[in-house]
Amino acid sequence: METVLSGMRPTGNLHLGNYYGAARSFVKMQDEYNCFFFIADWHSLTTHPKPEDIQRSARTILAEYLACGIDPEKATIYIQSDVPETIELYLYFNMNCYLGELERVTTFKEKARQQPDNVNAGLLTYPTLMAADILQHRAAKVPVGKDQEQNMEMARKCARRFNNIYGVEFFPEPQNFYFGDHAIKIPGLDGSGKMGKSNGNCIYLYEDEKSIRKKVMRAVTDNGPEAPNSEKPEVIQNLFTLMEIASSKDTYDYFNEKWNDCSIRYGDMKKQLAEDLVNTLAPIRERIIEFSSDQDKLDKIARMGAEKARESASATLREVRKIIGFKVY
């Protein structure tokens, strides 16, 4: 069975975009692959050197991923800082990675611009830590978005270089992986392209009914179609895209026809969309509350995940030490 690995920084609560773009695919993948999902709390130090209650943030995200349906019996779900083996591999990769190539990574350049007073070595070596995350499990596939392509290229370089330097065929070159319809992009309700935390236009998975309805009813619209069967402008297409994911096909078709014959009333459409989003999110919200209220259970799941991840990582590290020529414990 092939190994798939994905990591997420504990930067905030999960929203609809994270759910449809990532979490739901993970849930499907856990039945078909040997899956590792982890929370990249070390990586978050590159931008937030003094995090407030980092253990709590990691557990919040853990509860939300579990609520989406990631099953700790099927997949290994763990917190990065619980697996110290990662750091040893990070060190080896750093020895074979060059300043010039790390400085050329766009995300590094961007972050260096955003935080000119804190251009730290961790930020520079973000890609080698990511390579260690992936290659400690010798994962072949990594579901990531477009923004991570350069980091993935660095991970492949780390694997290739290690193999070349030591004359082995040890690490696979991990491939970017899209599960099913990778093109899915959840739009925001503000008429902008993408739902995202930094865009401030999210519907969060934990949101209650009242708040969901309020946000949907406030969604930006226009004056309505000007001619039958006309193309939908982006703001309206966004509402339809959300309806496509949350509502039944009949409901979608009903409003689509109303658009096409110019009799659509956005108020009615929003009411229906809000209703369907509330129903879609209610069970997830319930499970978030349930998981979050049982910190002991979360701790146990994190411990179990860490154990499995350490077992996998230490097997790799034993081989790596042997290959380089270090003592093996």
Which residues of this chain interact with ligand ADP, rule CB under 6 A? 8, 11, 17-18, 20-22, 145, 184-186, 194-198
Instruction: Look at residue 242 and give the partner it binds from ligand ADP, ligand TRP, none, a contact being a CB closer than 5 to 8 Å depending on partner kind.
Output: none
Residues 6+ apart with CB under 8 A from 249: none
Residues facing 15 on adjacent strands? 204
Give whichever of 142 and 277 is closer to ligand TRP, judged by the CB atom. 142
Provide, rounded to whole angstroms, the least separation between the CB of residue 68 and ligand ADP. Answer: 11
Site for ligand TRP, rule CB under 6 A: 5-9, 40, 43, 130, 133-134, 142, 144, 148, 151
Ordered alpha helix ranges (H), 191-294: 209-217, 234-246, 249-260, 266-292
Instruction: Look at residue 134 and give the partner it binds from ligand ADP, ligand TRP, none, a contact being a CB closer than 5 to 8 Å depending on partner kind.
Output: ligand TRP
Which one is catalytic: 50, 74, 109, 111? 111
Instruction: Look at residue 21 and give the partner it binds from ligand TRP, ligand ADP, none, a contact being a CB closer than 5 to 8 Å depending on partner kind.
Output: ligand ADP
Provide, rounded to whole angstroms, the least separation between the CB of residue 281 and ligand TRP. Answer: 23
- Catalytic residue check, 74: no
Long-range contacts of 243-252 (CB under 8 A, 24+ apart): 243/269, 243/272, 243/273, 243/276, 245/16, 245/20, 245/186, 245/280, 246/273, 246/276, 246/277, 246/279, 246/280, 247/272, 247/273, 247/276, 248/276, 251/276
Instruction: Look at residue 186 and give the partner it binds from ligand ADP, ligand TRP, none, a contact being a CB closer than 5 to 8 Å depending on partner kind.
Output: ligand ADP
Give whichever of 11 and 118 is closer to ligand ADP, judged by the CB atom. 11
Tell the residue number behind the tokens 């994962």, with chain if given: 139
Instruction: Look at residue 7 and give the partner it binds from ligand ADP, ligand TRP, none, a contact being a CB closer than 5 to 8 Å depending on partner kind.
Output: ligand TRP
Which one is catalytic: 74, 197, 258, 322? 197
Residue whose C-alpha is closest to residue 204's, from 70, 13, 27 = 13
- Catalytic residue check, 194: yes
Provide, rounded to whole angstroms, the least separation between the CB of residue 38 and ligand ADP. Answer: 13
Provide, rounded to whole angstroms, the least separation between the CB of residue 265 and ligand ADP. Answer: 27
Residue whose C-alpha is closest to residue 146's, from 180, 120, 176 = 176
Residue whose C-alpha is closest to residue 145's, from 184, 174, 189, 188 = 184
Which one is catalytic: 74, 194, 232, 271? 194
Give Cα separations from 277 to 26, 191, 216, 257 (angstroms).
Answer: 21, 18, 9, 21
Residue nearest to ligand TRP (CB): 7
Give whichever of 197 and 322 is closer to ligand ADP, judged by the CB atom. 197
Provide, rounded to whole angstroms, the least separation between the CB of residue 121 and ligand ADP. Answer: 23
Phi, psi (deg, nearest 5) at residue 4: -115, 140
Give whichever of 13 and 120 is closer to ligand ADP, judged by the CB atom. 13
Phi, psi (deg, nearest 5) at residue 39: -105, 120
Q: Looking at the annotation, which residues are catalytic?
A: 111, 194, 197
